[in-house]
Chain A
Amino acid sequence: MKKRVVILGGGTAGTMVVNRLHKKLNPDEWSITLVDKDNMHVYQPGLLLLPFGVYSAAELVKKRNNFFPPGIEYVRAEVERIDPEAKKVHLEDGLTLDYDQLIIATGTTPRPDQTLGMDDPAIWRKSVFDFYTLEGSTALRDALEEFTGGRLVVHISEMPIKCPVAPLEFTFLADAYFTEKKIRDKVQITYVTPLEGAFTKPVCSKQLGWMLTERDIKLEPDFVIEHIDPGAKLMVSMDEREIPFDLLVTVPVNMGADFVGRSGLGDDLNYIPVDKENFLSKKYDNIFALGDASDIPASKAGSVAHFAIDLFAENFVEHVNGLPMTHKFDGHTNCFIESGNGKGLLIDFNYKVEPLTGMFPLPIVGPFSLLKESRINHLGKLAFRWIYWNLLIKGRWIPISDAMSMSGKNQVTQKEGVGANASH
């Protein structure tokens, strides 16, 4: 009888992995099933640009199953829970799926319900917006269009969040947007973060700290939100600081899927604890978590999922054949950061090496400058949408290696790495 691998989630990670495994696994031995609750694949990097009119919603959505290889089974259903001992996935419609190997790729989701007052109907998507969902991003576009001035607050609730630099990019883009609309002098922009600064790694902080002051953006660090007062339009922190807003663009608490928690597989935010080098569950040797769904200490970003999955397919074949997994993920992350006015930055780092300055060599289109604003970095970000739909999620080769390279990077001397003391 054939063995079965079940993949939960058909987003960036799930789609890449189904294509890779389809190529690697012998169809006489393995059947592949992918489960997702809907058939809408959203190009998530576009959600940042949609509110500024760069894309329409229709340009960012395609059918998930356009990107699945032939011969796989696609089940459209919500997952109710997993029974890891019985090796079964229970679906909400009452059906169950048996598996030999399970891959969880159900990502992370913004949860406004986790902060008191945030999803109050009087303010939610009226004066308080998220932009990591198609609905939120579209509603925010309309609100920005109508905004004539006042206090714009951009806010992160709690780490970790999906695409950690996106709120900062949003802030830069908003600055450029209001400047172009000639109302920048009527808009006060404040960036509110639970972290100790907008950038927390020493080289980034040194290279990019000026980007906020130069744009007249106020920074409110170490702000851990306690609740939102919907009537007064006020954010209140755990240490009772208050920040009033006219328009709040917030990143709600991000959490993994609820079924992960119900199945006893998650940590306190429903992320699945895995080995950070090969993504195997710390509890079950036939469950893997890929992409944003795992607890690996890397950014929750598509580039991480991409580099990780390149290695994963090789490891998976070794693992199911009873061999040790020999490909180790180093935490490689690569992000284009929009800085407004048609410019952008590029950062490239891993578990051990922080983002550094220098040049990023990329055949044909590069090189890109690292940690420095340039027009080509912005064009790189725009070109990425084509790469995403046509190469990346189909599991085709793209010319960036899985392991991070030090080529072109300026190494840090001891002196540059000095940061703040805990009391500061």
Chain B
Amino acid sequence: MPVIEISGKPVTVNDEGFLTNFDEWDVDVAKELAKQIDIEMTEERWKIITFLREDYKTQGETATSRRVQTVGGVPIKEQFLLFPKKPAKKMAYIAGLPKPKGCV
């Protein structure tokens, strides 16, 4: 796994650039990750990132868009407005969590 430097601290990422260690994440890292995918962090966006981080602690996996809607209270349509095109993947990326699961 490559180690790269984000906002002055070393973090471990996978081949797709997703953080692999939950505890290497902080707010500055998140801002930098967001910048890399052209997302500017706002209050609404932080609300989702905070929810994802908290939810991961209890569930052990990244919340799906459906779960962000039903448990986190942000409709899927709004997730698309806040994180265009690939909300689930972008939200996980900024939150320093594994990419939500696909299939083959």
Report B71-104 CB contacts with A as 1/0, cut-off 8 Å: 1000011011000111001101100000101111
Residues of the B chain whose Cβ atoms lie less than 8 Å from the Cβ of A164: 103-104
Could you say which of B3-11, B14-22, B24-32, B44-52 contacts chain A?
B14-22
User: Are A417 and B102 in contact, with the CB atoms below 8 A?
Assistant: no
Of the candidates B18, B70, B84, which one forms a contact with A422 in the assembled complex, judged by CB atoms under 8 Å apart? B18
Report if A421-B85 is in contact (Cβ < 8 Å); known contacts: A158-B66, A159-B102, A164-B103.
no
Q: Is the Cβ of B104 less than 8 Å from the Cβ of A419?
A: no
A165 & B84 in contact (Cβ 8 Å cutoff): no
The verdict on A196 contacting B89 (CB below 8 Å), with A164-B103, A422-B16 known, is yes
Alpha-carbon gap, A257 to B22, bound state (A): 34
* Size band of the interface chain B makes with A: 20 to 34
Residue A70, interface by CB 8 Å: no
Given B84, B85, B104, which contacts A201 in the complex, CB threshold below 8 Å?
A: B104
A267-B65 Cα distance, complex, nearest whole Å: 14
A199 to B104 alpha-carbon distance, docked (Å): 5
Give Cα A139 to B46, complex, Å. Answer: 47
Q: Does residue B38 face the partner (Cβ distance < 8 Å to A)?
A: yes
Determine whether A303 belongs to the interface, using a CB cutoff of 8 Å to chain B: no
B67 within 8 A of A: yes
**In the complex, A76 Cα to B101 Cα: how many Å?**
36
A311-334, CB < 8 A from B: none
* Chain B residues positioned under 8 Å from A423 (CB to CB): 36-38, 90
B65 in contact with A422 (CB, 8 Å): no
Interface contact B102-A201, CB-CB below 8 Å = yes
Contact A418 B102 (CB under 8 A): no
Docked-complex contact A421 and B101, CB < 8 angstroms:
no
**Cβ-closest chain B residue relative to A225:** B76
Contact among B17, B64, B85, B93 for A222, CB-based, below 8 A: B85
Query: What residues on A are CB-neighbors of B86 within 8 Å?
Result: 196, 222, 422
Complex contacts, B18 vs chain A, CB 8 Å: 422
> Which residue of chain A lies nearest to B99 when distances are taken between CB atoms in the complex?
A422
Closest to A347 in B: B104
Minimum CB distance partner of A165 in chain B: B104
Which residues of chain B are near A420, meaning CB under 8 Å?
Answer: 16
User: Are A268 and B71 neighbours in the complex by a CB distance under 8 Å?
Assistant: yes
Contact B104 A268 (CB under 8 A): no
**What residues of chain B lie closer than 8 Å to A347, measured between beta carbons?**
104
A226 engages B77 (CB within 8 Å): yes
Residues on B with beta carbons closer than 8 Å to the beta carbon of A222: 85-86
Asked if A422 contacts B15 (CB within 8 A), the reply is no
Chain A residues with CB under 8 A of B76 = 224, 226, 238
Please give me the residue from chain A that is nearest to B63 by CB atom.
A268
Whether A421 lies near B16 (C-beta < 8 A) is yes
Which residues in chain A, 366-424, are within 8 Å of chain B measured between CB atoms?
A: 417-423
B80 close to A238 (CB less than 8 A): yes
Whether A200 sits at the interface, judged by CB under 8 Å, is yes
- Which chain B residue has the least Cβ–Cβ distance from A355? B104
Partner of B15, one of A195, A201, A417: A417
Contacts A159-B101, A269-B66 hold; do A419 and B16 have CB atoms under 8 A apart? yes
**Chain A residues at the B interface, C-beta cutoff of 8 Å:** 158-159, 164-165, 195-196, 199-202, 204, 222, 224, 226, 238-239, 267-269, 297, 299, 347, 349, 355, 417-423
**Known contacts A200-B102, A421-B37; 5 further A-B pairs (Cβ under 8 A):** A196-B102, A201-B102, A239-B84, A355-B104, A419-B15
Q: Could you give 7 example pairs across A and B, Cβ below 8 Å?
A: A158-B66, A200-B104, A222-B85, A297-B101, A422-B37, A422-B90, A423-B38
Residues of B bordering A, CB below 8 Å: 15-18, 36-38, 61, 64-67, 70-71, 76-77, 79-80, 84-86, 89-90, 92-93, 99, 101-104
Closest 6 CB pairs of A and B: A200-B102, A422-B93, A164-B103, A423-B37, A238-B80, A239-B80
